[in-house]
A = this chain, B = another copy of it.
Amino acid sequence: MSEHLFDLAIIGGGPAGVSAAINAKILNKSVIWFAADAVSKKVARAELIKNYPALPDITGEGLANALKRHAESMGIEQTNEVITGVYPTKGKFLVLAGAKDFEAKTVILCLGVEAQKPINGEERLLGRGVSYCATCDGFLYRGRKIAIYCTDKRFEGEIEFLCSVAEKAYVMPMYKNYEIKAKNAEIILKQPEAFEGEDRFTAVRFKGGHVEADGVFVLKTAISPATLVHGLKTEDGHIAVNRRMETNIAGLFAAGDCTGRPYQYIKAAGEGNVAAHSAIEYLDKN
């Protein structure tokens, strides 16, 4: 268990996360802010943003940098961790980033929307051969055969670790310029169609074939909200919230694209503000 209990944990580095972090800081709350990217990648990719009021014709990169500078100017730091689970426990939350854990009284989810849908079978077999966390579950597969599905180069350290533990690894890197040196790694450059298995994962299926393994690791930055937080209510794939950005779990709030359309930077920033205010009101009451 971590020693420090934060007032707020904010998960996500986009406009909603920045907005929530700024407000929590102004209102003197202790915050841990998890952002997988130093600058929101999705914002930075936008060519020209015409509807962020007061900043006409700003580039995506310009807005991403301005958001970053705003947070930095207030002394707000990001923690570069990928969150793998959020667990409500006795009036507080346990936030897991691989094998690390953090505790907070409230959590604001600013997860964005997954560009990619979960793989068929991924959610069904999670915890039964499908794992998001190399450091948590890697040793379960010592001397065994695993598959690794990976969407981001930053996880190559985890891939090397998993290969060092397993007897054999089928590695599916879904990004360019991969560098995987482990000798027992077999690279597969196909998009998996499904994770198969009845009670437990048994194989990855591709168009025209499959590989059998004892477990599969899914290493990606964006985990679907319902997978991240067990019991979280969603609607059409978005986190269900009310006007105060409250989810169905007390003390848990959400803001930005993950709460639904329109997917707009200014909508996300506005919701981040509301979520922070609601979280702080919740802290004051409890």
Q: Which residues of A contact B (CB under 8 A)?
A: 15, 18-19, 22-23, 26, 50-58, 63, 66-67, 69-70, 73-74, 241-243, 259-262, 264, 266-274, 277
Contact = CB atoms under 8 A, between A and B. Distances in A.
Given A266-B19, A273-B266, A55 B50 contact: no
Contact of A56 (B73, B242, B262, B271): B73
Q: Taking the full assembly, how many copies of this chain does it contain?
A: 2
Contact of A74 (B22, B50, B66, B261): B50
Nearest to A278: B262
A66 B66 CA distance: 15
A264 B260 contact: no
28 contacts: A19-B51, A22-B51, A26-B51, A50-B74, A53-B67, A53-B272, A54-B55, A54-B63, A54-B66, A54-B67, A55-B66, A56-B69, A241-B243, A242-B243, A243-B243, A243-B259, A262-B274, A262-B277, A264-B270, A264-B273, A264-B274, A264-B277, A266-B272, A266-B273, A267-B273, A268-B270, A270-B270, A270-B273
